[in-house]
Structure 1
């Protein structure tokens, strides 16, 4: 198989992965506090043995060829990260909607262990426990919070909670020394990877009651990236088809000569 086919295959597969990420971001554009995925690619240069042989340039040619004929480049996925940049805040007036402005995460207790989220569109379940939309209890002062029916819940900018005017605790808000070590679990939850350490959120973190944080997906930017990815994928598939046609032509020509 020609080297051009290999490079084109790697390029097509990379763009297929990129398209999947873009589609997932667009599908979650209306998901509360969704944080988009970002990807980066780089070229891997494959060198041959004669690249390391010392020769005298004047014996071969006056100038180096460009691009170098002895190097093949194949695109690779170099990085896939979660963009934790701030989303815009939308006022709802709901006393159970809590938004974070700044770097920080709510802690929630799931059956599989401790998880973290930015989505503060909380509800009260049938037992009166404050939970996420998925039914996961929200951690308040190391435990869960019970809200009596019809109670008035107040939250100040520091995350301190009062129920009917009585202080009942504060949200367990944390961040991480390296927030990039969080892995996504579902659309809105994150799990700390091994070695990631919780730290106290910065002083500029503000808790705002009656607001929700919208996702940080920019539709126009994602659509432009989608068009770019589609065109790149088409280009790579045409390269594969062109190389395949050249191979067939060469095989037919050789068969006529040897026949």
Structure 2
């Protein structure tokens, strides 16, 4: 099979995955606190056995005993990572809507364990527990936060919760020592990637803004441009595969007619 078929196949598969990432970003463009996924490409080199052989010649005009070293470069998806850049702020006026400015996360408790989130759209359960839109408990001091109902609540920039001047507790705000070790687990939640050496650390230079929500950091126009580019690239790779297949069929038929 021609090398153009392999190269086109790698390129088409990479752009198919790229389209999946872009589509997921666009689907979450209106999700509070969502962080878009980015991707990177690299070349995969295929080496042959003769690439490692040294062709020593007894004299200058001696024939070459081995083919010239040859390396094939095939582009493919090199990695996918979460872009943790700051999203824009939206004013809501709701005292339970909180936005984070800087690097860090809220901590929430789910039936599967404790996770991190940037989505500060909170509400009170019937028993006064502060919960997320999915019903997960928002943590403060390592446990669920319980607040009085129908009373104005103040939350300062450090996440300290007060009612009528009396402090009731503080939100658990944390950060990760290695941002590249953060992975998504769905439902707008994050965790430290298993097997990494990263750990939770105090969230420095992180501020809580009450009455605001952080919007997704997805630029719709930019993502649409990337989608069009990936679609065109995918179509080109398809054309290369189709053309290569036609050429091989023509060669096979011609060879079969010889004699």
- TM score, norm. by length of structure 1: 0.91
- Secondary structure of 1:78's match? strand
User: Counterpart of 1:256?
Assistant: 257
Go from structure 1 to structure 2 and tell me whether the alpha carbon gap of 1:104 and 1:131 turns closer, same or farther (over 3 Å shift). same
Residue by residue over 1:85-114, the C-alpha shift from the partner in whole angstroms, topping out at 9 and shown as x without a partner, is 111111110000001100110000111111
Deviation at 1:187, TM superposition (A): 4.1
Which 5+ residue runs of structure 1 have no aligned equivalent? 61-67
| 1:84 paired to 2:84 | yes
Alpha-carbon distance in structure 2 between the residues aligned to 1:231 and 1:69: 33
User: Counterpart of 2:102?
Assistant: 102
Alpha-carbon distance in structure 2 between the residues aligned to 1:21 and 1:89: 24
Confirm or deny: 8 A CA contact 1:128 1:147 kept in the other structure: yes
CA RMSD of aligned residues (A): 1.9
Alpha-carbon distance in structure 2 between the residues aligned to 1:22 and 1:187: 18
Confirm or deny: 8 A CA contact 1:5 1:239 kept in the other structure: yes
User: Counterpart of 1:214?
Assistant: 215
User: Counterpart of 1:170?
Assistant: 170
- Secondary structure of 1:162's match? strand
Deviation at 1:51, TM superposition (A): 2.3
Alpha-carbon distance in structure 2 between the residues aligned to 1:189 and 1:43: 32
Spell out the pairing of 1:59-208 with structure 2 (5 A cutoff): 70-194=70-194, 195-202=197-204, 204-208=205-209
- Secondary structure of 1:253's match? helix
Confirm or deny: 8 A CA contact 1:25 1:37 kept in the other structure: yes
User: Counterpart of 1:64?
Assistant: none
Confirm or deny: 8 A CA contact 1:34 1:187 kept in the other structure: no
Confirm or deny: 8 A CA contact 2:50 2:69 kept in the other structure: no
Alpha-carbon distance in structure 1 between the residues aligned to 2:61 and 2:244: 33
Go from structure 1 to structure 2 and tell me whether the alpha carbon gap of 1:167 and 1:238 turns closer, same or farther (over 3 Å shift). same
Alpha-carbon distance in structure 2 between the residues aligned to 1:179 and 1:113: 21
Deviation at 1:84, TM superposition (A): 0.6
User: Counterpart of 2:234?
Assistant: 233
Aligned length: 251
- Secondary structure of 2:138's match? coil
Deviation at 1:56, TM superposition (A): 7.4
Larger displacement relative to structure 2 (8-17 or 179-188): 179-188
- Secondary structure of 2:238's match? helix
| 1:31 paired to 2:31 | yes
- Secondary structure of 2:144's match? coil
Alpha-carbon distance in structure 2 between the residues aligned to 1:176 and 1:233: 36
Alpha-carbon distance in structure 1 between the residues aligned to 2:243 and 2:105: 51
- TM score, norm. by length of structure 2: 0.91
Residue by residue over 1:38-83, the C-alpha shift from the partner in whole angstroms, topping out at 9 and shown as x without a partner, is 11011112122222333479769xxxxxxx9822111222111101
Go from structure 1 to structure 2 and tell me whether the alpha carbon gap of 1:109 and 1:52 turns closer, same or farther (over 3 Å shift). same
